[in-house]
Structure 1
Amino acid sequence: MLSVFDQGPPSPCPCAFNLAAHVLGRAGTQPDKVALSVLEHDGAHDWSYRALEHAVRATGTGLLDSGLAPGDIVLMRLGNTVDFPIAYLGAIAAGLVPVPTSSQLTEPEVAAIIASLSPAAMLRDPAVASAAGAVEIPLDALRAMRDLSPCDWAMGDPDRLAYIVYTSGTSGQPRAVAHAHRAIWARQMMVTGWNDLRLDDRLLHGGAFNWTYTLGTGLMDPWIRGATALIPAEGTPISALPGLLHTHGATIFAAAPGVFRKLLQDHPALDLPDLRHGLSAGEKLSPALHAAWHTATGTGLYEAYGLSECSTFISSSPKYPARNAALGQPQKGRRVAITDDNGTPVPQGHEGTIAVHRSDPGLMLGYLNAPDETAARFRGDWFLTGDQGSMAEDGQITYLGRADDMMNAGGYRVSPLEIEIVLTAHPLITQAGVTEVEVKDDARIIAAFYTGPTALDERDLHTYVKDHLARYKQPRAFIHLPNLPVGANGKLLRRALREHFKAGET
């Protein structure tokens, strides 16, 4: 049998559709229910479904009144506050195209995005780094828009452009990934296949408002189901999460593996009587961490696999738990395969590239203004993720690593080339090689290896990268070498760099 999972397509997306209207559809049937609680150390600030919908649609009115027109691209430079999801959904409600970006990006990184996108406006929190080149709509003006009348939902073709996200490219240049309104429709397949969300759930996400993982799993998924989202306020330490989970009756806890890891280091046992299970995404979950969570809480921890180009499509769940070290299985409604480099499915049990069918509603429209680069990721009807795996007879998929050198930094995919370009611009560095290294069991960091006349002060290097790279892209270790390891063709051998670090030869 070939490595193809296909149990039929999902239900079709409505012909007249708006992503934001779909997310907030429950406001009409349960207007007074709490949609969102922003958790403070001494209480919570609640938003009802009625209040949230009004804020979103009124923001849409304000953005249109500011001179923007449907289809305009709007760059988001906002912090870790409720302003982020309100502005994001408000833009989409009015037919605009928001571009959420990490608040950790530096001025040069923002300048590069502005140059490539030419946004019609930038939504700007003055505390977040920015760059010239776009008309700014300041945070106080955004908040004032919530007093306006609500806009009409901009309904239309579900295949039209809805939003853009950035992901690191293998060339070292971040790529703009264009997504359609239908992308949110694909998330309904996660209910059975991953999160098991119910109407009475209270889902606490351990990430920031302005992270796409939080935006999807922590906010929009609960709202679509009519559940309640719980988000810790900005500045909440991980050490406070057990108390918040207990006090606010969280039934589901979602976070990146690093958050689970840090939490369990200090809390080998957790008293969470309302918790049903945990959700993990962003990077591979280790069996040891999974076991530690079960020991601490008595509940399961279910992981999901996706990427910037396609919403989560492989996962485990209470109904379909993963077997051994497998990721889980493709969600019902997805068509997924393990293929060779030509896009031909390989036999079950054989290693190949994880691929998703081009008909998947969660798959990107393409890389913005890059048709050749988009086409290069497809082989026939399959989008090749670049990650390796194998499929068992029952459809369970085991993750076998990346085919390329992409790294995971706190849930963000990062290209080593992007970091190497910055490092080699340093006047005292001649060559640089960047890779992930394991510093202890289940803990990895980005390490930079470099050559030059002499070893440089590590504090100076940390300062240098801080000025040029978002925090999650910054190496945590710098190693000076006389030469970087290369193959016969002169290509950098990243595996050899990892072996250098592991062997302590640095």
Structure 2
Amino acid sequence: MRAVDDKRPSPSIPDRLNLASHVLWAAGAPDDKVALVLLRATGAERWSYGRLREAVMRTAGGLLAAGLAPGARVLMRIGNTPDFPVTYLGAIAAGLVAVPTAAALGAEEITKVARVLSPDAIVSDGTVPMPDHDAPVLSPAAFSRAEPLERPAETGANDPAYIVFTSGTSGTPSGVVHAHRAILARGLMTDGWYGLTPSDRVLHAGAFSWTFTLGTGLMDPWAAGATALVLAPGTGPEMIPLLAQRHEATMIAGAPGVFRRLLKSGMPALPRLRHGLVAGEKLPETVRTAWRDATGTELHEAFGQSEISTFISGSPARPAPEGTLGYTQGGRCVAILSEDGTPAERGEDGAIAIHGSDPGLMLGTLDGPLAERLTGEWFTTGDRGLMREDGAIEYHGRTDDILTAGGFRVSPIEVEAAMQRHPGIEEAAAVDCHVTPETTVIAVHYTGPAALPEADLTAHAEAHLARYKQPRLFVHAQSLPRNANGKLLRRSLPPANETAP
């Protein structure tokens, strides 16, 4: 049986659609309902839907009053405050193209982004590094005095709405262009991943500027008429358990590393919590099990990327079988492709791909249209996996992270999962190590309270992995390299044969 899971039809896309209008009004949430709660260790700042809508429309009016024409690109340089989503939605409501960027980017990094983007304006709150660029700079504070736009712009569903930047494998910023229709595709996650209802209160552990937070933590709850709970600046993730309890969170969302930290800090009783939502990197089964034991709730994982957001996931209605990401979301068509670009057989390793007609797929990048990135009718993600007979999809890692020790292709995810079952290992990262120009072995960098005897680790690997998958080098580390969003950076690890004793 071919490794294709076609859950179409996709949602019908109207000719005219404005993403901001859909987010703020589609669910019909009343003006006095709480839309956003900015959480602090002491106290909280609450925004009603009415206040949020007014702020967005004033921002839209202010941007247009500054002389920006439809389709103009607005680079956002704003810290982790409500100004971030308000500016994002305000630009889109005005028919402009919002470009959210991480506050953590330094002056050199954001200058590279600006050179690729050529923004028509920069909105800055003065708290984060600015690019060396001659675009006019606007302040979100000034928008509060602007005349509000009467209604969102009449944009086309396929018009550009926002651009997100990824560094890519070359280190050169790549701008991914998304259409207004992407918000309707995100609705497929409501049942396929979240199980989201208007009564939910979703607490996201990430910063506003992370696309995971911006989508799962803000846009999707608002499009469903739910309440978003987000950490205020200066509020550390160690406060999440207490704040989740105090503010009656029904869902907690974050990267796997967030849940690992929460488990270390100890979880209080959370009677309102329904489940957790995980994305950003593969969730270790050890963390899933520990969370279930500590809270009595499940962690539902999703897989996606900047070009498409998530399209494979487990959900409350259909939990993922152990060792898998879950299933193709309704309305999507997913395949595992062989080396020749055609669908593989179920049970065979291959490239994870989504059909090029998916309504959530990007329009393209600033470098070129989507058509240039397609393999026939498929968009390949750069990740590998296999589709089981029941349609559940295993994740084997990024194509450029796949291990090749001894001439075999080995998933680093499988090696890491096996080693993390050792009680003395907290985290693990498996990489290729070239011990000689002709010989490559698997090395594992791991964290834990103390370095473990090599014989102990070797015996553990022999008990859980086939011989060709077993690591030959083990390196104890104080921590593993991760990006600002907690994603493991395997290629940043030092060569194991230089660090191992």
- CA distance change for structure 1 residues 473 and 500 in 2, over 3 Å: closer, same or farther? farther
- Supply the distance in 2 between the matched residues of 1:471 and 1:281 (Cα, whole angstroms): 14
- SS at 1:363 equivalent: coil
Alignment of structure 1 residues 61-460 onto 2, 5 Å: 61-138=61-138, 141-151=139-149, 152-267=151-266, 269-371=267-369, 375=371, 377-405=373-401, 438-440=445-447
Query: Contact 2:120–2:136 at 8 Å: present in 1 too?
Result: no
- Supply the distance in 2 between the matched residues of 1:327 and 1:470 (Cα, whole angstroms): 22
- Supply the distance in 2 between the matched residues of 1:241 and 1:132 (Cα, whole angstroms): 37
- CA distance change for structure 1 residues 348 and 472 in 2, over 3 Å: closer, same or farther? closer
Query: Contact 2:70–2:94 at 8 Å: present in 1 too?
Result: yes
- SS at 2:2 equivalent: coil
Scaled by the length of structure 2, the TM-score of the pair is 0.81
Query: Contact 1:56–1:146 at 8 Å: present in 2 too?
Result: no
Instruction: Read off the aligned partner of 2:300 and give its amino acid letter.
Output: Y
- CA distance change for structure 1 residues 382 and 201 in 2, over 3 Å: closer, same or farther? same
- Supply the distance in 2 between the matched residues of 1:258 and 1:153 (Cα, whole angstroms): 38
- Supply the distance in 2 between the matched residues of 1:4 and 1:14 (Cα, whole angstroms): 27
Once structures 1 and 2 are overlaid, which stretch shifts more, 236-245 or 24-33?
24-33
- SS at 1:288 equivalent: helix
- Supply the distance in 2 between the matched residues of 1:177 and 1:26 (Cα, whole angstroms): 26
- SS at 1:80 equivalent: coil
- Supply the distance in 2 between the matched residues of 1:380 and 1:474 (Cα, whole angstroms): 31
Instruction: Read off the aligned partner of 2:366 and give its amino acid letter.
Output: L
Structure 1 position 439, deviation (Å)? 2.8
Deviations along 1:368-421, whole A, 9 cap, x unmatched? 1335xx555311100011100000121100001111249xxxxxxxxxxxxxxx
Query: Contact 1:81–1:210 at 8 Å: present in 2 too?
Result: no
Query: Contact 2:7–2:329 at 8 Å: present in 1 too?
Result: no
Structure 1 residue ranges without an equivalent (≥5) = 407-434, 443-468, 478-493
Instruction: Read off the aligned partner of 1:500 and give its amino acid letter.
Output: N
- CA distance change for structure 1 residues 19 and 476 in 2, over 3 Å: closer, same or farther? closer
- Supply the distance in 2 between the matched residues of 1:471 and 1:330 (Cα, whole angstroms): 28
Instruction: Read off the aligned partner of 2:277 and give its amino acid letter.
Output: L
Instruction: Read off the aligned partner of 2:58 and give its amino acid letter.
Output: A
Structure 1 position 130, deviation (Å)? 1.0
Q: Aligned-pair RMSD on alpha carbons?
A: 2.6
Query: Contact 2:11–2:184 at 8 Å: present in 1 too?
Result: no
- Supply the distance in 2 between the matched residues of 1:474 and 1:320 (Cα, whole angstroms): 26
- Supply the distance in 1 between the matched residues of 2:227 and 2:484 (Cα, whole angstroms): 31
- CA distance change for structure 1 residues 495 and 61 in 2, over 3 Å: closer, same or farther? closer
- Supply the distance in 2 between the matched residues of 1:476 and 1:7 (Cα, whole angstroms): 33
Deviations along 1:401-460, whole A, 9 cap, x unmatched? 111249xxxxxxxxxxxxxxxxxxxxxxxxxxxx99733279xxxxxxxxxxxxxxxxxx
- Supply the distance in 2 between the matched residues of 1:500 and 1:136 (Cα, whole angstroms): 51
Structure 1 position 22, deviation (Å)? 0.5
Moved runs in structure 1, 4+ residues, more than 4 A? 26-29, 469-477, 494-499
- SS at 1:404 equivalent: helix
Instruction: Read off the aligned partner of 2:195 and give its amino acid letter.
Output: D
Identity %: 50
Structure 2 residue ranges without an equivalent (≥5) = 403-441, 450-481
Structure 1 position 132, deviation (Å)? 2.2
**Count of aligned positions:** 430
- Supply the distance in 1 between the matched residues of 2:361 and 2:273 (Cα, whole angstroms): 32
- Supply the distance in 1 between the matched residues of 2:284 and 2:269 (Cα, whole angstroms): 23
Query: Contact 2:206–2:485 at 8 Å: present in 1 too?
Result: no
- CA distance change for structure 1 residues 498 and 368 in 2, over 3 Å: closer, same or farther? same
- SS at 1:41 equivalent: coil
Instruction: Read off the aligned partner of 1:266 and give its amino acid letter.
Output: S
- Supply the distance in 1 between the matched residues of 2:487 and 2:188 (Cα, whole angstroms): 35
Structure 1 position 154, deviation (Å)? 1.1
Query: Contact 1:54–1:146 at 8 Å: present in 2 too?
Result: no
- Supply the distance in 2 between the matched residues of 1:496 and 1:86 (Cα, whole angstroms): 38
Query: Contact 1:27–1:50 at 8 Å: present in 2 too?
Result: no
- Supply the distance in 2 between the matched residues of 1:379 and 1:237 (Cα, whole angstroms): 43
